[in-house]
Amino acid sequence: MTVKKIVSHKSLENKIVQEIIDKLNDYFKRSYTEGEKVHNYKTNEELTSLFGFPIQNTSKDFDWLKAVTDTFLQHTINTAHPFFSNQLFANVNDIALLGDMLASATNTSMAVYESAPIAYNMERSVVRLILGRLGYADDPDHGDGIMTPGGSYSNMQAILAARNYLFPETKQSGNLPGLVAFASDLAHYSLGKSANIIGIGEGCVRYVKTDADGTMNADDLKTKIETEKHNGNLPFFLLLTAGTTEFGSFDNIKLLTEIAKQHNIWVHVDGAWGGAVAFSRSKRARLQGIERTDSFSWDAHKVLGIPLYASFFMINKPLGTMEQLFGIGKGDYLFHGDSMDLGKKSLQCARRNDVLKVWLLFKFFGVEVVENTFENLFAKSREFAEIVKSDDRFELVMEPDYLNVCFRVKNPTQLSNVDFLKTIRNNLKEEGFYFVNYTARNEEDCFFRLITNLLITRENFVGFLERIASEVKK
């Protein structure tokens, strides 16, 4: 009996890799072909039958590998399709994809400089670029940052940074009683998770009211801070949102930071979605006051077509602060005193070379092209909003300030608004040509949320509205 081992099949690997790459090329070509679906909808039972998910003792051959690749590409959600608008990311940029493939193939770790000297310099270059856009790096010895595995992780690192910076003893002894954090009621849900993880508890997050435009109400923030102080608690962290997931709204950073600083509160700007306006000429003012905040996060994989993930966490503090906040005095098997080691400013040890795809994209296209790309996207959002407003079958929820085009479908049925919208959305999803998400605050307040992406056109959007209208007629 021949015993198989997990080794590279050196005589076959080049051929099989090339065949898989050819299949990927065909997959991307189909993404941009008129009439192609976002996905071929299958129930979970049907998917289980197709793939046979349980792992068996017996092994497979290369013919099986090619077949399962075909099946996967046929039935996976095609996020490169113009009408994948279910999440806040879409499309895949060829240059960034190349960077992602190179990172996987070379498979290094960013923990220490000696194992990734090229990636180290790439990451420091991109970090300094972003810091400069924020006004965090006027001094070469000021401002720092690192890549993280997602925006939720960045928010966790921010609230931990706030606690350890304002109350250094907590790094060794644990939380003080009464720590309280604040965010708007439209802030990302990850803050509650982060509060749970660092040990202050989800119940210690106070959610501030938002105004009609989706931005944090300054008066309610003042009231809540004063109430917590009166009750003997310790307000220490404020999360502001630059680009809410629902509306793309931007909290008034300058005003709200001024309020927080009167109480020595760490201010973090969650720019996971909207932080891209740092590279916009027309929307840069949405970050007015950012230079006075303490930390910032941005997901570069949103909007630009960079493969997941490409997230950054930045702090507006002197170099060396991140090591003090997050490093510990262990790891002698790995850290040997090299000041360029990035591992001590990260909450991770092994860390993938995710910067390569970001650095390649910015370096290949140049910052000016990135800026122009954002301006084109903003123009698309405004155009789509005007199309909605000109059609009396639909209602624009609010004027888009970013890339979220939120609109309602006028309901002529006896169904509740949410059941009416969900019926339309589910029919479209199962049909496979459109994969667009929605927000439902209650049975009546619900709306579609289309995210403008790099590939969607005016004709695509008009066709989408007409398809919705045909569902209403049913």
Both 341 and 413 in one domain: the answer is no
275-321 pLDDT, tens digit per residue, is 999 999 999 999 999 999 999 999 999 989 899 989 999 999 999 99
Both 259 and 284 in one domain: the answer is yes
Is there a domain that residue 184 lies in? Answer: yes
342: amino acid identity, one letter: L
Give the distance between the most distant pair of CA atoms in the chain: 77
Which one has a higher pLDDT value, 340 or 359? Answer: 359
Both 398 and 350 in one domain: the answer is no
Token look-up 């925006």 returns 151
Both 325 and 455 in one domain: the answer is no
pLDDT at 21: 87
Tell me which of 365, 398, 423 is where a domain ends: 365
Both 358 and 373 in one domain: the answer is no
Strands of the sheet with 179-184, listed across from one edge: 142-148, 311-318, 295-299, 266-271, 234-241, 179-184, 205-208
Is there a domain that residue 47 lies in? Answer: no
Is there a domain that residue 390 lies in? Answer: yes
Q: Is the pLDDT of residue 36 over 80?
A: yes
Count of residues for the chain?
Answer: 474
CATH of the domain at 395: 3.90.1150.170
Tell me which of 325, 348, 365 is where a domain ends: 365
Q: Is the pLDDT of residue 148 over 90?
A: yes
Both 324 and 424 in one domain: the answer is no
Q: How many CA atoms lie within 13 A of 149 on its CB side?
A: 8
Is there a domain that residue 278 lies in? Answer: yes
How many C-beta neighbours within 10 Å does residue 65 have? 13
pLDDT at 13: 54
d(CA 456, CA 363) in angstroms, rounded, equals 25
pLDDT at 336: 67
Kindly tell me the sign of the dihedral angle through the C-alpha atoms of 44, 46, 47, 52.
positive
Residues 407-432 as b or e (16 or more Cβ within 10 Å = b):
bbbebeeeeebbebbeebbeebbeeb
CATH of the domain at 255: 3.40.640.10
Both 258 and 145 in one domain: the answer is yes
Q: How many CA atoms lie within 13 A of 406 on its CB side?
A: 21
Is there a domain that residue 165 lies in? Answer: yes
195-239 pLDDT, tens digit per residue, is 999 999 999 999 999 999 999 999 999 999 999 999 999 999 999
Q: Model confidence at 112, in pLDDT bands (50, 70, 90)?
A: confident
For the ranges 56-65, 99-108, 230-239, 334-343, which has the lowest average pLDDT?
334-343
Percent over 90 (pLDDT), the chain: 69
pLDDT at 441: 76
Mean pLDDT of the chain: 90
How many C-beta neighbours within 10 Å does residue 386 have? 12
Q: Contact 81/38 with Cβ under 8 angstroms?
A: yes
Both 349 and 436 in one domain: the answer is no
Q: Contact 309/354 with Cβ under 8 angstroms?
A: yes
Both 287 and 168 in one domain: the answer is yes
234-270 pLDDT, tens digit per residue, is 999 999 999 999 999 999 999 999 999 999 999 999 9
pLDDT at 381: 93
In eight-state DSSP terms, residue 384 is: H
Its domain, for residue 445, covers 368-473
Both 445 and 310 in one domain: the answer is no
Both 321 and 447 in one domain: the answer is no
Tell me which of 319, 343, 365 is where a domain ends: 365
pLDDT at 229: 97
Neighbouring residues of 445: CB distance < 8 A, sequence distance ≥ 6 = 417
How many domains is the chain built from?
A: 2
Q: Is the pLDDT of residue 429 over 80?
A: yes
366-418 pLDDT, tens digit per residue, is 999 999 999 999 999 999 999 999 999 999 999 999 999 999 999 998 888 99
Neighbouring residues of 199: CB distance < 8 A, sequence distance ≥ 6 = 174, 175
pLDDT at 379: 92
Both 206 and 149 in one domain: the answer is yes
Q: Is the pLDDT of residue 365 over 90?
A: yes
pLDDT at 447: 85
